[in-house]
């Protein structure tokens, strides 16, 4: 007699991706939003222990791949290496004014500001490098990957030939170009925003040759497509991909003062207005391309879900208070308030949706990720 044994197939574990936009000081918004999302979905990260401390989530470990550009690169590498999220937030709040000691004024004083920095960058690159070296020590891409098994993709630009460059962990065995680069140098390369910072000079760790990099935000400020393509290429067809993308409180409302055909240098805020428009356009454009691509790929038999966390509309006062290089107390308070309100927005939307008869797949994914994070082990 032949007995048939039913085979029980385990559900394929999703490949989870986190992508983080660039945006200078507005990276504080992203860091607080991440922290608050975990706290709202899992109360153990709010309740104090007997010794008075609070558990810290290991946000990096919740994802298989983290992509970040510019300020998002710093946050991505910090999460990947296991830096507590509260220390990242503290970095922005306490050191922002030292990295951006001279933010561009919004009044006519911007003309004097432009004259002052006509031949040098406005931000303090030496201070940023000092902080990155302190944060990451001599940790290399390979060391981090070997210890934590978290993949990263960090967009930048090779200034020598104007070509896109993405620093990657060796998650593809045959791709190991970047494994010996220090995380601090990787972040410096991706954060070298023109006008704000000088071109980053990073030595090739394999041969000592000088290399020059410019902010990856010029082509992938929203690295959602980088993360999507990498995840689809890396995973097998039967493994689903779940991608969460977070912005930096972009300014989608535009500026009516720019709606004229003949704009000069000062109309564009000495170039900063172009950067701000590029950030908003990429946030919107790449997010929609990623969602369209995910739908197409899913129709071909591979499950791909792309989620862009929602942002609320901002008041005129809020928009004028925040900026790429604004680190004063008003800017910090505004970014904190916006991060908290947007966390409430996303949390409420998920909880309300899950109470419906047919909840959306995206809501369940968000809840699964943010309510099941392991505690960070020190």
**What does the alpha-carbon distance between residue 127 and residue 331 come to, in Å, rounded to a whole number?**
20
Average pLDDT value over all residues in the chain: 88
Q: In this structure, are residues 241 and 305 in contact, taking their beta carbons and an 8 Å threshold?
A: yes
pLDDT for position 147:
96
Please say if the pLDDT value at position 75 is more than 60. Answer: yes
Q: How would you classify the pairing of strands 163-168 and 151-158?
A: antiparallel
pLDDT for position 5:
36
Please say if the pLDDT value at position 270 is more than 70. Answer: no
224-240 mean pLDDT: 96
Coil/strand/helix, residue 291: helix
Tokens 């002052």 -> residue: 116
**What does the alpha-carbon distance between residue 178 and residue 319 come to, in Å, rounded to a whole number?**
38
Please say if the pLDDT value at position 281 is more than 80. Answer: no
- The predicted-structure confidence for 205-226, as pLDDT tens digits, reads as follows 999 999 999 999 889 999 999 9
201-208 mean pLDDT: 94
Please say if the pLDDT value at position 258 is more than 90. Answer: no
Coil/strand/helix, residue 17: strand
- The predicted-structure confidence for 325-369, as pLDDT tens digits, reads as follows 899 999 999 999 999 999 999 999 999 999 999 999 999 999 999
Binning the chain into helix, strand and coil, the percentages to the nearest 5 are 45, 15, 40
Q: Helical H runs in the chain? A: 27-41, 71-81, 85-99, 110-116, 125-136, 141-148, 183-190, 217-220, 224-234, 272-299, 316-321, 329-354, 361-370
- The predicted-structure confidence for 146-157, as pLDDT tens digits, reads as follows 999 999 999 999
pLDDT for position 255:
55
Q: In this structure, are residues 228 and 3 in contact, taking their beta carbons and an 8 Å threshold?
A: no
Sequence-ordered list of residues with C-beta below 8 angstroms from that of 369, at least 6 positions apart, any chain? 16, 62, 242, 244
Quick one: which of 131, 72, 54 has its CA closest to 100? 131
Query: What confidence category does residue 200 fall into, taking pLDDT thresholds of 50, 70 and 90?
Result: very high
- The predicted-structure confidence for 245-254, as pLDDT tens digits, reads as follows 999 987 655 5
Sequence-ordered list of residues with C-beta below 8 angstroms from that of 105, at least 6 positions apart, any chain? 113
pLDDT for position 117:
62
Quick one: which of 219, 147, 207, 209 has its CA closest to 183? 147
**What does the alpha-carbon distance between residue 102 and residue 128 come to, in Å, rounded to a whole number?**
14
108-118 mean pLDDT: 66
pLDDT for position 319:
81
Coil/strand/helix, residue 222: coil
Q: Say what angle helices 27-41 and 85-99 make with each other, to 10 degrees.
A: 160
Quick one: which of 239, 244, 223, 241 has its CA closest to 231? 241
User: Exposed e or buried b for every residue in 272-302, given b needs 16+ CB within 10 A?
Assistant: bbebbeebbebbeebbeebbebbeebeeeeb
% the chain with pLDDT above 90:
69
What is the number of helices (H) and of strands (E) in the chain? 13, 8
Tokens 């943010």 -> residue: 370
**What does the alpha-carbon distance between residue 297 and residue 77 come to, in Å, rounded to a whole number?**
28
- The predicted-structure confidence for 37-58, as pLDDT tens digits, reads as follows 999 999 999 888 778 788 999 9
pLDDT for position 266:
55
């Amino acid at each position: 007699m032949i007995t048939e044994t039913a085979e029980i197939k385990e559900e394929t574990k999703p490949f989870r991706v986190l992508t983080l936009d660039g945006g200078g000081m507005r990276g504080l918004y992203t860091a607080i939003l991440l922290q608050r999302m975990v706290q709202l979905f899992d109360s153990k990260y709010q309740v104090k222990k007997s010794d008075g401390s609070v558990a810290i989530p290991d946000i990096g470990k919740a994802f298989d791949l983290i992509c970040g550009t510019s300020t998002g690169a710093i946050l991505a590498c910090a999460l990947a290496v296991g830096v507590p999220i509260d220390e990242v937030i503290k970095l922005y709040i306490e050191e922002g004014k030292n990295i951006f000691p001279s933010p561009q004024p919004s009044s006519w004083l911007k003309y004097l500001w432009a004259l002052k920095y006509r031949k040098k960058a406005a931000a303090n690159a030496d201070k940023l490098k000092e902080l990155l070296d302190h944060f990451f020590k001599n940790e290399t891409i390979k060391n981090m990957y070997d210890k934590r098994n978290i993949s990263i993709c960090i967009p930048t630009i090779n200034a020598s030939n104007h070509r896109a460059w993405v620093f990657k962990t060796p998650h593809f065995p045959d791709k190991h170009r970047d494994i010996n680069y220090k995380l601090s140098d990787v972040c410096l390369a991706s954060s070298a925003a023109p006008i704000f910072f000088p071109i980053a000079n990073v030595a090739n760790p394999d041969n000592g040759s000088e290399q020059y990099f410019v902010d990856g935000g010029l082509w992938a400020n929203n690295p959602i497509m980088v993360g999507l393509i990498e995840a689809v290429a890396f995973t097998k067809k039967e493994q689903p991909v779940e991608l969460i993308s977070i912005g930096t409180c972009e300014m989608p409302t535009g500026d009516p003062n720019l709606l004229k055909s003949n704009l000069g240098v000062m109309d564009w805020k000495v170039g900063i207005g172009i950067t701000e428009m590029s950030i908003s356009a990429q946030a919107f454009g790449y997010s929609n391309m990623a969602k369209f691509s995910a739908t197409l790929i899913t129709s071909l038999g591979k499950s791909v879900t792309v989620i862009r966390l929602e942002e609320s509309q901002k008041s005129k006062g809020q928009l004028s208070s925040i900026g790429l290089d604004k680190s004063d107390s008003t800017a910090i308070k505004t970014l904190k308030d916006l991060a908290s309100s947007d966390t409430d927005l996303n949390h409420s939307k998920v909880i309300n949706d899950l109470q419906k008869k047919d909840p959306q797949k995206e809501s369940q994914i968000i809840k699964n990720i943010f309510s099941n994070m392991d505690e960070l082990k020190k």
